[in-house]
């Protein structure tokens, strides 16, 4: 069953067209990787899906409802969470408050506590620091907090933008494991990642973007074994 | 010593008025990074509305100090509505127009309000009705005189401020407002309706301003249509002194300013009070440009 279907999406920054008609879809319960060089339009795609940017053309269907052009808070309310690149933790709010804000759309207080408990179980490090201000956490902890905060809205689909940014290899592996764990709990994931190899290894399918277009898509295995992709994105010498 | 204690008490009272008004400036700045130059005039309008309502009730034959409560609530409500209207008319259309246009549009709104009140109430001093006055009872501790009015107004201001603080720190929409003030785009990603958070700001700020207006009316009993400018300037300064955007800072700034004024009035001369108060403010801001409670936390990446 398709959860998210993006069709012919075009987005502009001023006069500059950054997305030139992209089409892709994600099945429910999958991890999909959106890959490509800097400036290919990956973050723009995520921002358009979450409504931070308004598309010029095209549609974004979430379970048969077109969410393109809705206001961001309505899109989040429908079950899409976007963990932005650079994390954007609320630096002067505590870890606990950051998580509470993530659950803004959930009105049932008991439910919020339940989800928060789940997030703390997933990231025990956050529980240890629940009173600490977000801005004083290390980069890895901030990434955990950003993902945890994203989960607080109990999303159907989680958009992750560059979760590896500035992380040590060890922390990066840990975050990737957590992403699989989140998928196993039933959350569909769209991940944008510079480390294409690591992203494809945990993904079900992948899309390669170049200058505003999807130039290649397929299952993760197909992409991992494609010689052209290997050379261009996976750092393999031929 | 007596003079000192008495002036501290007076300063606290005036400071509480400044603090109530300063909260409106600091909240709007916090959430929109804009200065609402019409806020002083919303305060002034609240003071005039209070007077009108009291006169209407007296005209209807009702005379009791308890009437101040419904009058205060009604004025707060109306001024909140005016605040919302201001947001719609002067801010929202200019949300993406940069920082300067909204300053001009709120200055325009300030001029409109001031002139409207001047035309409605005539350009002369007006007085709060003598018939409705708070009990003249006063307390003497050693030789410091504390009037009932002072006690009541201090109590009311600090009750309002405590409620505001609890709202901002503990409730869902309070936390949402803080999130919007920290980072508007990330707040959107949390599913927060940013427009609603801004509207709440424009309800609470003007409501507190109107309450401040009525308190000033009850304390000094005398109103003039230009008073929004004077009090607004002081409260704006208080907000900056405390660290603009910071709610407890606005309260602290208001009180520091009130104390500075009343102490310089008591020890030097009342005609020098503004000059001295502002001189000390300049010194404080030279040492702490971010204000007393304003602080920046280093962000680790």
* For chain A, domain boundaries: 2-233
8 Å CB contact of A104 and B297: no
Mean pLDDT value across chain A: 93
Tell me, what's the pLDDT at A166? Answer: 83
The whole-chain average pLDDT of chain B stands at 91
Residues 6+ apart with CB under 8 A from B115: none
Is the Cβ pair B183, A104 closer than 8 Å? no
Q: Do B192 and A73 touch (CB under 8 A)?
A: yes
Cβ separation of B300 and A137 shorter than 8 Å? Answer: yes
Q: Using one digit for the tens of pLDDT, what is the confidence trace for A57-87? A: 999 999 989 999 999 999 999 999 999 998 8
Closest Cβ opposite residue A84 in set B172, B189, B193: B189
In a domain, B118, yes or no: yes
Residue B210 lies in a domain: yes
Please give the ipTM for the structure prediction. 0.91
CA distance to partner chain B, nearest, from residue A43 (Å):
14
Lowest average pLDDT, out of A10-19, B245-254, B285-294, goes to B285-294
Residues B92, B95, B97, B98, CA torsion sign? positive
Interface test with B, best of A71, A86, A88, A101 (most B CBs within 10 A): A101
pLDDT at position B62, please?
83
Q: Is A153's CB within 8 Å of B300's CB?
A: no
Q: What is the pLDDT of residue B300?
A: 38
Average pLDDT over residues B48-68: 90
Confidence label for A41 from pLDDT (cuts 50, 70 and 90):
very high
CATH number of the domain bearing residue B58:
1.10.3470
Residue B19 CA, chain-centre distance (Å), reads 6
Of B172, B178, B193, the CB nearest to A73: B193
| Contact (CB<8Å) A81/B185 | no
Among all residues of chain B, which has the CA nearest to that of A72? B188
Alpha helices (runs of H) in chain A, residue ranges in sequence order: 42-49, 72-77, 95-102, 109-122, 124-128, 139-151, 169-184, 196-202, 220-225, 227-233
> Rounded to a whole number, what is the distance in Å from the CA of A94 to chain B's nearest CA?
11
Contact between chains at B298 and A135 (C-beta distance less than 8 A): yes
Residues of B with Cβ-Cβ distance to A91 under 8 angstroms: 182, 297, 299
Q: Which CATH number fits domain A2-233: 3.40.50.2300, 1.10.20.140, 3.30.70.1400, 3.40.50.300?
A: 3.40.50.300
pLDDT at position A236 is: 65
Q: Say how many domains are in chain B.
A: 1
Sequence-ordered alpha helix ranges (H) in chain B: 2-32, 39-59, 68-86, 100-121, 148-170, 172-182, 184-189, 194-220, 227-242, 247-267, 273-287
Tell me the residues of A at the B interface, defined by beta carbons under 8 Å apart.
50-52, 71-73, 76-77, 81-82, 84, 86, 88, 90-93, 97, 100-102, 104-105, 133, 135-139, 142, 149, 153, 166
Does the global pTM surpass 0.80? yes
Looking at residue B276, what is its pLDDT?
A: 87
User: Looking at the partner chain, which of B193, B297, B300 has a beta carbon nearest the beta carbon of A139?
Assistant: B300
Average pLDDT estimate for B113-141: 87
Q: Does residue B30 sit within a domain?
A: yes
Q: A102 vs B190: CB contact, 8 Å cut-off?
A: yes
| Tokens representing residue B112 in the block | 């409109």
pLDDT of B297 over the 60 cut: no
| Closest of B190, B254, B26 to residue A93, by C-alpha | B190
Its domain, for residue B74, covers 2-287
Tell me, yes or no, whether B298 lies in a domain. Answer: no
Q: How would you class A35 by CB atoms within 10 Å of its CB: exposed for 0-12, middle for 13-18, buried for 19 or more?
A: buried
Q: Which residues in chain A are closer than 8 Å to B192, comparing Cβ atoms?
A: 73, 101, 104
In chain A, the percentage of residues whose pLDDT exceeds 90 is 82
Residue B146: is its pLDDT beyond 90? no
* Closest residue of chain B to A98, computed from CA coordinates: B179
The closest of B190, B184, B192, B294 to B246, measured between CA atoms, is: B294
Is the CB of B175 less than 8 angstroms away from the CB of A100? yes
Cross-chain residue pair B178–A93, CB shorter than 8 Å: yes
Give the mean model confidence (pLDDT) for residues B87-103: 90
* CB contact (8 A) between residue A73 and residue B175: no
Q: Write b or e for each residue in A70-84: b if 16 or more Cβ atoms lie within 10 A of its Cβ, otherwise e.
A: bebbebbbbbbbbbb
Read off the pLDDT of residues B70-79 as tens digits, 9 standing for 90 and up: 999 999 999 9
Domain assignment present for B299 = no
């Amino acid at each position: 069953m398709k959860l998210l279907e993006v069709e012919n999406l075009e987005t502009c920054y001023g006069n500059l067209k950054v997305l030139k008609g992209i089409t892709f879809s994600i099945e429910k319960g999958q991890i999909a990787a959106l890959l490509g060089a800097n400036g290919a339009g990956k973050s723009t795609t995520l921002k358009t899906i979450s409504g931070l940017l308004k598309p010029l053309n095209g549609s974004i269907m979430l379970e048969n409802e077109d969410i393109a052009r809705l206001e961001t808070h309505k899109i989040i309310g429908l079950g899409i969470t976007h963990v932005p690149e650079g994390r954007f933790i609320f630096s002067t709010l505590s870890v606990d408050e950051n998580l509470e804000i993530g659950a803004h759309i959930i009105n049932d207080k008991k439910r919020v506590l339940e989800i928060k408990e789940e997030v703390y179980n997933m990231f025990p490090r956050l529980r240890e620091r629940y009173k600490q201000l977000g801005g004083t956490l290390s980069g890895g902890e901030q990434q955990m907090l950003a993902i945890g905060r994203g989960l607080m809205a109990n999303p159907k689909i989680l958009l992750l933008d560059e979760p590896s940014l500035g992380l040590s290899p060890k922390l990066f592996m840990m975050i990737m494991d957590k992403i699989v764990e989140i998928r196993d709990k039933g959350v569909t994931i769209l991940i944008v990642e510079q480390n294409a190899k690591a992203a494809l290894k945990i993904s079900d399918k992948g899309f390669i973007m170049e200058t505003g277009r999807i130039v290649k898509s397929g299952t993760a295995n197909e992409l991992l074994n494609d010689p052209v992709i290997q050379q261009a994105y996976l750092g393999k010498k031929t | 010593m007596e003079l000192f204690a008495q002036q501290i008490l007076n300063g606290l009272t005036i400071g509480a008025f400044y603090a109530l008004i300063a909260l409106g400036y600091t909240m709007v700045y916090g959430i929109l990074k804009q200065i609402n130059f019409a806020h002083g005039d919303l305060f002034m309008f609240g003071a005039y509305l209070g007077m009108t309502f009291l006169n209407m009730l007296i005209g209807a034959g009702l005379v009791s100090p308890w009437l101040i409560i419904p009058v205060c609530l009604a004025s707060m409500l109306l001024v909140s509505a005016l605040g919302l209207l201001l947001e719609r008319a002067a801010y929202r259309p200019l949300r993406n127009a940069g920082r300067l246009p909204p300053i001009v549009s709120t200055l325009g709104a300030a001029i409109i309000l001031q002139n409207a009140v001047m035309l409605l109430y005539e350009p002369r001093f007006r007085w709060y009705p003598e018939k409705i006055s708070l009990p003249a009872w006063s307390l003497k501790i050693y030789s410091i005189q504390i009037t009932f009015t002072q006690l009541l107004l201090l109590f009311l201001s600090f009750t309002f401020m405590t409620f505001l603080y609890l709202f901002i720190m503990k409730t869902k929409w309070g936390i949402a407002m803080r999130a919007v003030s920290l980072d508007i785009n990330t707040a959107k990603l949390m599913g927060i309706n940013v427009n609603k958070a801004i509207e709440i700001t424009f309800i609470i700020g003007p409501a507190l301003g109107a309450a401040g207006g009525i308190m000033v009316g009850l304390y000094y009993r005398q109103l003039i249509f230009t008073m929004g400018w004077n009090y607004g300037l002081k409260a704006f300064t208080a907000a900056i002194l405390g660290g603009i955007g910071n709610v407890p800072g606005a309260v602290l700034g208001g009180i520091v300013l009130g104390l500075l004024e009343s102490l310089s009035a008591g020890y030097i001369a009342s005609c020098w009070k503004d000059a001295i108060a502002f001189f000390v403010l300049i010194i404080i801001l030279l040492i702490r440009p971010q204000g007393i409670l304003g602080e920046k936390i280093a962000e680790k990446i």
